[in-house]
A and B are shown apart, each in its own frame.
Chain A
Amino acid sequence: MADAEVIPLGEPLGTRGRPGRGSKNATPSQAARSLAPTRPKRSPKAERPDAPAVARIRRVTPPESPRHTSTDDPADSSSTDVAQPARDGGGGDRVAAALAFVRRRLTGDYDIDDLGFDRELTSAVFMSLLRPLAQRWFRIEVRGIENIPAEGGALLVANHSGTVPLDALMTAVVVHDHAGRYVRSLGADLVFALPLVSELARKAGVTLACSEDAERMLQSGELVGVWPEGFKGVGKPFSQRYKLQRFGRGGFVSAAIRTGVPIVPCSIVGAEETYPLVGNVPALARLLRVPYLPITPFFPWLGPLGLVPLPSKWVIEFGEPIRTDTYAESGADDPMLVFNLTDQVRETIQQTLYDLLVHRQHVFV
């Protein structure tokens, strides 16, 4: 795979660290400043989600939730927390915290944002369920985590593979655990048409891959994750592994330019081998109205056992951010610029994938 031909672009795009357009300020934006190689050190405790999830809930919940800020509400009957965990540091307060969590869930006493993202549920439940998969099963090695801006809007662009979009889930876990940020992924409309998947996806912060939603989240300073290959990436045969498919129509680049946020390329190695897609049943897929119907060496032959992903060893590498705040906002409507940037991001990810593959010793070790 190392001898693949990658056509380099003549002139590197971006500003290579000079201050740019930012968010209409003369000084570089917060996001841009935090892109500098010497990243301001966060206090080790801040948003480091290593502590038991339930105990962290209090901290993760945003301090200015609308419930408490809207003081001009006519009927303000703010609920007080009865079961505030005692500070004696025993097992008792953990029980109390767990009970309080269950009570909040049962009474609907939690906040979601306009897009349906449930921060408490994501950090306490989803992340806890997925973390063992990331740490024990795939033993994910994370590289270049410092390339993710500590705060402010940024667009994470990654390769997509593996029949089942596990790579998106795992990326969310490692970014949450190592960078203390939530990845707000953009999903295909099929995600929101499927029962249960739609419900869980919205709560985990996924929203529809469209320019309106992407720009709304980038503007409000979220870290947005996009997998531009889409179904062409996850549903490609095993023989084409690690060959990037077409990167959509570059809509993600337009959104980044319009909001002036950096693009962080992300290369994921290992996801291709979780469910090797060796066959497809297009006729049945069309009948079921899904983009592809996978056949792997184990599925559907072994039944539910075939759903267990192979324990490949993963590497997720975050590349150097590509700044977009140097272009005028009108750059988003310049197709040539959008295509060039899209290609640059794509080549960066492809090149990194090849580098990682060359140095990979074994698929499963």
Chain B
Amino acid sequence: MGRVVLVTGVAGQLGSQTARRLAADPAVDKVVGVDVLPPRGELAGVRFVRADIRNPVIAKVLAVEDVDTVAHLGVYASGGRLGGAVSTKEANVIGTMQLLAACQRAPGLRRVLLKSSTGVYGSSSRDPAVFGEHTPPQRPPTAGYAKDCAEVEGYLSGFARRRPDIAVTVLRCADLLSARLETPLGRYFRLPVIPRVLGFDPRLQLLHAEDALDIVQRAVTHDRPGTYNVAGHGVLLLSQAVRRLGKLWVALPAIGFGPAGQALRRTSRVDLAPDVVDLLTHGRVVDTTAVQASFGWAPRWSTARTLTDFATEVGQGPVGADRVRQAEQALLASLTRGR
């Protein structure tokens, strides 16, 4: 019997690309894509089922298609295609509960994969500098996407206890940044002037979309149960990232950052939710040795390269490296001539 993979959130950018890749993978026989919205592009080789995972109909899909692997990629950040915080949370958490309820009744199921976020560690001044998979969060996320991920992981671990025969893999991915992908950090870095928290310079870790697709594909086709951090090598400070993008920034005191986020949400699609503000204050870095040892895989894009790739796609800001270099040349020339 071959492999039948069910991909949730297949109308999303990551979901649709994953489904396409899996359809092309010889190790996979059939890919079933599920989402409430129809996918934007053509999903060659993917059987698309328009269904809401918040609905018990998902159990029928699992049974009819004889699914043995579920790749749950349908946990989203708010401000995206699902709209506001309330409806996103509902889709994320209730959707996962329904999906897992259906999975528990599916006798043929062998493997469940969840794409989670490193946001589950939260971000505070009391946290160690680098999170391992077993580091307990000092201040767990209290809102937004990060909290959804933490809750979804909680339900999944409960499911794993009840069905010990199923291999459960959780990929905690660092913030995705790609010009071709709508991500919270991508929207933030596209702002003409980037707001920063005054007096804090967080460490950021980025993950390239290519690497995210790579590891999701591997996790579907390989049997590696466990929880893994996934992030690009290296670390960038927020100030460093802003400078490499050649952008202008404005530093707001931590107290004023919340209202600024509210104003931004009204005027643009940038959502500075509390979990994002925490990230932009204290930063977050995770240890990725486990995923490298277990999968024999290393991300091809470092954090710095991910940012460079993003910068080349969206273009440099007003104080880009080229202009600074020109100014430096001009200044040096005038200084040495005067000598």
Interface residues of A (CB under 8 A from B): 66-67, 70, 72-77, 79, 82-83, 91-92, 95-96, 99-100, 102-103, 106-116, 118, 189-190, 192-199, 202-203, 207-208, 210, 212-213, 216
B253 at the interface (CB under 8 A from A): yes
The reply to whether A114 and B129 form a contact with Cβ atoms under 8 Å apart is yes
A192: B residues at CB distance < 8 A: 125-126, 282
The reply to whether B201 and A202 form a contact with Cβ atoms under 8 Å apart is yes
Top 4 A-B residue pairs of the complex, sorted by shortest distance between their CB atoms: A195-B199, A108-B243, A192-B125, A212-B128
Pick from B125, B319, B320: contact of A198, CB under 8 Å = B125
Segment of B13-21, B61-69, B183-191, B230-238 engaged in the interface with chain A: B230-238
Closest to B132 in A: A212
Contacts A108-B242, A116-B201 known; list 6 others, CB within 8 Å.
A75-B301, A112-B236, A198-B125, A212-B129, A213-B128, A216-B129
The reply to whether A208 and B129 form a contact with Cβ atoms under 8 Å apart is yes
The reply to whether B309 and A196 form a contact with Cβ atoms under 8 Å apart is no
Given A95-B335, A115-B130, A198-B125, A73:B300 Cβ within 8 A: yes
The reply to whether A208 and B244 form a contact with Cβ atoms under 8 Å apart is no
The reply to whether B129 and A95 form a contact with Cβ atoms under 8 Å apart is no
Closest to B336 in A: A92
Pick from A110, A112, A212: contact of B130, CB under 8 Å = A212
A110–B252 CA distance with the chains assembled, in angstroms:
25
List, sorted by A's number, 16 A–B pairs whose CB atoms are closer than 8 Å.
A66-B234, A73-B305, A91-B339, A92-B335, A95-B332, A107-B320, A107-B325, A108-B239, A109-B321, A110-B240, A192-B126, A198-B125, A198-B282, A199-B199, A207-B129, A213-B130
Pick from A66, A196, A203: contact of B233, CB under 8 Å = A66
The reply to whether B235 and A195 form a contact with Cβ atoms under 8 Å apart is no
Pick from A95, A103, A189, A202: contact of B203, CB under 8 Å = A202
B331 at the interface (CB under 8 A from A): yes
B27 at the interface (CB under 8 A from A): no
B229 at the interface (CB under 8 A from A): no
Pick from A79, A92, A207: contact of B339, CB under 8 Å = A92
Instruction: Tell me how many residues of B have a C-beta within 8 Å of chain A.
Output: 52
Kindly supply a per-residue 1/0 record for chain B positions 312-339, scoring 1 wherever the CB is within 8 Å of any chain A CB and 0 otherwise: 1000000111001100110110011001
B308 at the interface (CB under 8 A from A): yes
Closest to B329 in A: A82
Interface residues of B (CB under 8 A from A): 125-130, 132, 135, 197-201, 203, 210, 233-237, 239-244, 246, 253-254, 282-283, 285, 300-302, 304-305, 308-309, 312, 319-321, 324-325, 328-329, 331-332, 335-336, 339
A108–B321 CA distance with the chains assembled, in angstroms:
9
Given A109-B321, A198-B199, A74:B130 Cβ within 8 A: no
The reply to whether A107 and B130 form a contact with Cβ atoms under 8 Å apart is no
Given A108-B240, A108-B242, A189:B321 Cβ within 8 A: no
B127: A residues at CB distance < 8 A: 208
Question: Would you give the shortest CB distance from B121 to chain A, in whole angstroms?
Answer: 12
Closest to B233 in A: A66
B203: A residues at CB distance < 8 A: 112, 114-116, 202
Pick from B125, B242, B329: contact of A189, CB under 8 Å = B125
B135: A residues at CB distance < 8 A: 212
A108: B residues at CB distance < 8 A: 236, 239-244
B125: A residues at CB distance < 8 A: 189-190, 192-193, 198, 208
B129: A residues at CB distance < 8 A: 114-116, 207-208, 212-213, 216
The reply to whether B319 and A75 form a contact with Cβ atoms under 8 Å apart is no
Question: Would you give the shortest CB distance from A203 to chain B, in whole angstroms?
Answer: 7
